[in-house]
């Protein structure tokens, strides 16, 4: 056997397969290495806690000055979780950034070269995003609730975790935030442009629901309103149920359907469109 043959056998490259665990590690590192992502994640926590406390302080001040109508009309839970409504916009933007940002910089080509199937990259991003939003926003939502209720308790208006439907509403709020972040990820993968995807998500979450109220019931406006995006989980994230929205079980199922359908469209786009 010649020396050349021995050399070829000795230094033959070893094929390494990309594993789901490897993709998760990679996406986790990328998630916490991008400054804009870290800043957005921190901003979502600040919005949830800070605005929740500020709205609670404003409610207490209005009651102290006699500016509020009647104590029976005050919903203490809503005041302390108002920040989560604004945070939903932030986490949706976060979902857009972690995928559309890679398309704009060209980094996505490297990711897809390492995982040619492409779907694994999207699933890894979704898992990392969901875990981070679930943990950090879960802590933020409960902190906002406890701090807000401590403020309102000075007027004997606060509620506690043990009160009816409070814990379910807090969990529903966190679930909504996780779902909204995944919707942002799906829209970002579909549009591949951060600005366009963020504008689309903002319109879908804050503009379209208000416009749906103008659709006549004879045109199906009431049903459309019930089944549109986050409207589906309005009762799930509220202490007081409204007959205008879906019950908790059907609402959660409809919301999950939105996430799955948009995620499925994102998968098809990644498979069929060039980078």
User: pLDDT tens digits, residue range 162-199?
Assistant: 888 999 999 999 999 999 999 999 999 999 999 999 99
User: How many angstroms separate the CA atoms of 11 and 16, rounded?
Assistant: 15
pLDDT-wise least confident of 117-131, 200-214, 246-260: 200-214
Q: Is residue 169 part of a domain?
A: yes
Residue 225 sits at the vertex; the CA angle it makes with 165 and 75, to the nearest 5 degrees, is 30
User: How many angstroms separate the CA atoms of 75 and 110, rounded?
Assistant: 50
Q: Is residue 63 part of a domain?
A: yes
List C-alpha distances in Å: 12 to 6, 7, 19, 91.
10, 8, 22, 46
Q: What is the mean pLDDT of residues 103-129?
A: 88
The per-residue pLDDT for 173 is 96
The per-residue pLDDT for 94 is 95
Work out how many domains the chain is built from and give that number: 1
Do 229 and 211 contact (CB within 8 A), yes or no? no
The per-residue pLDDT for 71 is 47
Q: Is residue 31 part of a domain?
A: yes
**This prediction's pTM:** 0.89
Q: Is residue 215 part of a domain?
A: yes
The per-residue pLDDT for 111 is 82
- 220: containing domain: 17-272
pLDDT-wise least confident of 3-12, 24-33, 159-168: 3-12
Closest CA relative to residue 239, chosen from 171, 151, 150, 143: 171
Percent of the chain with pLDDT over 90: 59
Q: What is the mean pLDDT of residues 75-94?
A: 92
End-to-end CA distance of the chain: 46
pLDDT at 235 over 90: yes
Q: Is residue 7 part of a domain?
A: no
Q: Is residue 2 part of a domain?
A: no
Q: Is residue 12 part of a domain?
A: no
The per-residue pLDDT for 216 is 83
Q: Is residue 9 part of a domain?
A: no
């Amino acid at each position: 056997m010649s020396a050349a043959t021995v050399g070829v056998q000795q230094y033959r490259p070893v094929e390494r397969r990309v594993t789901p665990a490897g993709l998760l590690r990679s996406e986790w590192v990328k998630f916490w290495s991008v400054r804009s992502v870290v800043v957005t994640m921190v901003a979502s926590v600040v919005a949830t806690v800070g605005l929740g406390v500020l709205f609670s302080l404003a409610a207490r001040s209005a009651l102290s000055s006699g500016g509020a109508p009647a104590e029976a009309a005050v919903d203490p839970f809503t005041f302390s979780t108002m920040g989560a409504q604004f945070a939903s916009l932030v986490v949706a933007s976060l979902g857009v950034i972690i995928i559309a940002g890679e398309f704009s910089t060209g980094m996505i080509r490297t990711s897809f070269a390492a995982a040619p199937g492409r779907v694994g990259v999207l699933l890894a991003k979704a898992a990392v995003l969901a875990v981070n939003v679930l943990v950090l926003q879960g802590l933020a939502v409960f902190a906002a609730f406890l701090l807000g209720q401590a403020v309102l308790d000075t007027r004997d208006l606060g509620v506690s975790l043990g009160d009816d439907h409070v814990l379910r509403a807090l969990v529903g709020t966190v679930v909504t935030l996780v779902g909204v972040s995944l919707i942002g990820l799906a829209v970002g993968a579909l549009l591949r442009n951060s600005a366009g995807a963020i504008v689309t998500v903002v319109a879908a979450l804050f503009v379209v629901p208000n416009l749906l109220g103008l659709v006549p019931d004879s045109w199906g406006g009431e049903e459309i309103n019930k089944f549109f995006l986050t409207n589906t989980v309005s009762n799930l994230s509220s202490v007081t149920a409204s007959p205008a929205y879906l019950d908790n079980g059907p609402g959660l199922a409809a919301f999950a359907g939105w996430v799955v359908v948009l995620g499925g469209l994102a998968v098809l786009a990644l498979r069929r469109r060039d980078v």
